[in-house]
């Protein structure tokens, strides 16, 4: 006897193309019907790329046919259009009304400085010509670090009568983070569907107002939160953060291939911890190796939009609520250049 549980268990071996999560845990399976030995599966997708259903179809067929005694396998797709970017005449279709550009900051690995880059990019954008309005949504539910970087660990957002969350404002940036909803000691236990719901609420249930740029600080890797984001809002481009060493680059490659699978353009690569400028001898030391970011950017055909040194002031500034981009150091100038690069790549 074939049963639904066995079918779903088997389909858990099929990953969404480019992601490390499977199609079952993403909630893409809408129904499984079984008649005798024959099975019909309905899958819902939001994509414009025909290779995605094709690849899921082939893999699912192959894996399901290994089930003993299975008969005919039919896989039906319900394909919806992904959200449209908020550009030009399509502005009405913006998935976040009032938000002009949505930029994801991503990395393959944790600890490479993704949140540091997201926070400083948000500030550098807000300080750039014309003083654009900027929001920063910390989508890293499991390790939210944005409240600390903005000195807002104690802040708790209010809600409107319509139950919209009012973001916390700091250094002129509108911020939302899971960190605002947690006590210091509480473990983050949201997984699967609950993580999806939180992410959607942060994006769509927040009173972002009119924003020129909304920066999304993604969790590291290629999991379900990333997919939820690209399926819920129209992301205009992604910035990939990496350190120069091969280990980080391999994962950065996975992150960028994930974005190309869902048709989000890569704006560029930021190489963090590129070198250490020794205060005592003035020499540059390539602690994590040299040229990794450049090699990767030419491999992907996207620009290397910045190189940030590893230095005490960047770490200290991040830990004390005044990110380095607010000052006038060389690193602050580098972030300002990164912001200019992002603006020009997006326009
Ligand atoms: P991720 O978001 O990739 O996990 P974070 O931005 O949280 O990484 O950075 C991890 C740690 O490294 C933090 O303590 C941060 O202050 C520090 N850090 C990040 N970039 C730099 C840098 N360029 N120089 C010094 N410390 C850095």
69 and 147 housed in the same domain: no
Q: Cα separation of 112 and 238, whole Å?
A: 16
Domain span including residue 64: 4-80
Q: What is the CATH number of the domain that holds 285?
A: 3.40.50.300
- The pLDDT, as a whole number, for residue 93 is 38
Look at residues 56, 80, 104 and tell me which one is the last residue of a structural domain: 80
CB 17 less than 6 A from any atom of ligand 1: no
CB 108 less than 6 A from any atom of ligand 1: no
CB 242 less than 6 A from any atom of ligand 1: no
Instruction: Provide the number of structural domains found in the chain.
Output: 2
159 and 238 housed in the same domain: yes
Contact 61, 39 (CB under 8 A): no
CB 324 less than 6 A from any atom of ligand 1: no
What is the Å distance from ligand 1's center to 220 Cα?
13
69 and 133 housed in the same domain: no
Q: What is the CATH number of the domain that holds 40?
A: 3.30.300.130
The mean of the pLDDT values for the chain is 89
- The pLDDT, as a whole number, for residue 191 is 67
CB 310 less than 6 A from any atom of ligand 1: yes
Q: pLDDT, tens digit, for every residue of 253-286?
A: 888 888 888 889 999 999 999 999 888 888 888 8
162 and 271 housed in the same domain: yes
Q: From atom 22 of ligand 1, which residue's Cα is the shortest distance away?
A: 310
Q: pLDDT, tens digit, for every residue of 194-251?
A: 888 888 889 999 999 999 999 999 998 888 788 888 888 999 999 999 998 877 788 8
32 and 69 housed in the same domain: yes
């Amino acid at each position: 006897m074939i049963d639904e549980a066995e079918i779903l268990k088997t389909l858990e071996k099929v990953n969404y193309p480019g992601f490390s999560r499977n199609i079952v845990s993403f909630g893409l399976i809408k129904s499984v019907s079984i008649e005798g030995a024959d099975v019909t599966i309905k899958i819902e997708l939001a994509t414009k790329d025909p290779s995605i259903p094709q690849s899921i179809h082939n893999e699912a067929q192959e894996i399901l046919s290994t089930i003993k005694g299975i008969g005919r396998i039919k896989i039906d797709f319900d394909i919806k259009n992904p959200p449209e970017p908020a550009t030009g005449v399509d502005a009405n279709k913006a998935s976040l009304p009032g938000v002009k550009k949505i930029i994801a900051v991503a990395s393959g690995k944790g600890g490479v400085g993704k949140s540091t880059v997201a926070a400083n990019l948000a500030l550098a954008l807000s300080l750039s010509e014309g003083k654009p309005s900027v929001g920063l949504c910390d989508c890293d539910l499991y390790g939210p670090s944005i409240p600390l970087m903005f000195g807002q660990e104690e802040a708790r957002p209010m809600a409107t009568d319509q139950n919209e969350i009012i973001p916390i404002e700091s250094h002129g940036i509108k911020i939302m983070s899971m960190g605002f909803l947690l006590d210091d000691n509480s473990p983050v236990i949201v997984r699967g569907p609950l993580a999806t719901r939180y992410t959607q609420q942060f994006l769509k249930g927040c009173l972002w107002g009119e924003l020129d740029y909304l920066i999304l600080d993604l969790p590291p890797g290629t999991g379900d939160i990333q997919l939820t984001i690209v399926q819920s809002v129209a992301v205009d481009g992604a910035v990939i953060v990496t350190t120069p060493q091969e280990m980080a680059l391999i994962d950065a490659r996975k992150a960028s291939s994930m974005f190309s699978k869902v048709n989000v353009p890569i704006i560029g690569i930021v190489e963090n911890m590129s070198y250490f400028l020794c205060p005592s001898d003035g020499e540059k030391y390539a602690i994590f190796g040299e040229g990794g970011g450049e090699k990767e950017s030419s491999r992907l055909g996207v620009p290397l939009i910045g190189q940030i040194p590893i230095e005490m002031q960047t770490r200290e500034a991040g830990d004390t609520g005044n990110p380095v981009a607010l000052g006038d150091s060389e690193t602050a100038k580098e972030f300002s250049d990164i912001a200019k690069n992002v603006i020009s790549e997006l326009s």
